[in-house]
Structure 1
Amino acid sequence: MRKITLFICLFITIQIFAQRSTIQGVISDNIGIVANAHVVNITSMEGTFSDTKGYFNINAQLGDILQITSIQHYNKNIKVSSISMGRKKINILLEIQEQILEEIEVKKTQLIQSLSADSKKTPENKGKSKSEKARNFENAKATDNVIMASASEKSAAERKTDPVLAFEGLTLLKFSLFTSKEEKRLEQRIKKQVFRDHLPERIITIVGKENFTNKLNIPEEQVLNFINYSIDEEIENNVQREEHLKVIENLKIKSVNYLKELGG
């Protein structure tokens, strides 16, 4: 019977302390009250602000953590205890952050407080003048707008990395005399030509060189001829979209006719 009574008393005590209640408080520092301080119950993620007199109300229960933050003050965390819950009002004192200037440099000048005279003595901002000259295009020549680079000057490694650089001749770069539409058309033609030039290699990579002879029964010496024979707009689109299965299916169909023509 005693154990049951003790258990009931303990349960009631826990329920009382577990209940959420409203905590009232006032926030101040060593100068006076602190208005508009942010008070957050980190446990329940509820928040409020102190009013013009530093007062605030917030719901909390035993064990909750209240965080108080304010501009020009150090943050402060307070754990809600039975003592703070028993009080009608809690006082929170914040510590002011000291703003210290690390270094002040005073330079002697010869200014006489006359705008016309002092402006002549003001040191020239060299960075500003350089930037203004850089933005001045009045003296720019038409030839300055064309920048050409020869692909032959590019290293072999660069040509291998970017197929477009394998194009012999001059490649048009930024600031050309062509209109933007002409540039785009020229760029598209170059990319399309480069794609077609490398298309057989890409098809061999997709299918696998050994599969041409083992699966499609194309003689090894005829593989390149067969690829060129098979390439059409549909296969080009399949390669561009990386539809590899469709590429293989199209080549299977075309291999039948190719072998017939080769045998005939």
Structure 2
Amino acid sequence: MRYFVAFLFLLLSTSFYGQETTLKRVSGTISSANTMLPLSNVNIINMNKAKGTITDSKGFFEIEATLNDTLHITSIGFQSLRVRVTNDWIKNGTTRIQLTEKAIALEEVVIKRYELTGYLEVDSKLIPEKENYRYSISGLPEGYEVGENSPNAFSRVVSSIFNPADMLYNFFGNKPKELKKLKDMKKDDTVRNLLETKYDRETIALLLGVEKKDIAEILQHCSYSDSFIQTANDLQILDAISQCYEEYRVLKKK
């Protein structure tokens, strides 16, 4: 009898644990903390599952999640928010979330005009031109971008590739799961569409567990030009880091 009770307790515990970790769909309604009105087109990304969705016209959303997953919620003009999926949320099936508006101070923008002469041959030399190139390296599927904003880039490429103590080597070697998550994100249309419109590096930094400034340093070690790092959207940055990681794996095998 004693063994039967112990077996029954073990069975119930296993069943309960299985229910907690089973993938479920949780839902919620997102509204403005100031007006209490529902917010449409709010982006929600499950940082653990690399899945995304958006709210409808009533602020409603539904997304796949398990216990303790983190949802990253963003909307233009509002403070981003991270929410953890709790037991109560899973049991109730839905929850209410409020976003706070950002206080944005607009800075003065000065637009400078070019002093053109009207002569094409002269004016073409007055307008700054940024040229970026990609060097091809034998053994790698892709090249490395350099340009006038990336001095001595080619020598940096060679030194970074053949220096095993390089920051890039250490970073990629320590974060294989996070980098795989970046690749999985590209498969989700909602996440891709979101990253195409973002330039703040916030989502990518959270996924990799690094500071925003570290992303620029990573891309510099991959020899991307400063102009690319500053102007690319988050999806392009995601592709660049993923490509650099694949090149790192090739070098590691060799």
TM-score with structure 1 length normalisation? Answer: 0.40
- Report the structure number with the largest CA radius of gyration: 1
More helix by share: 1
Instruction: State the TM-score, normalized to the length of structure 2.
Output: 0.41
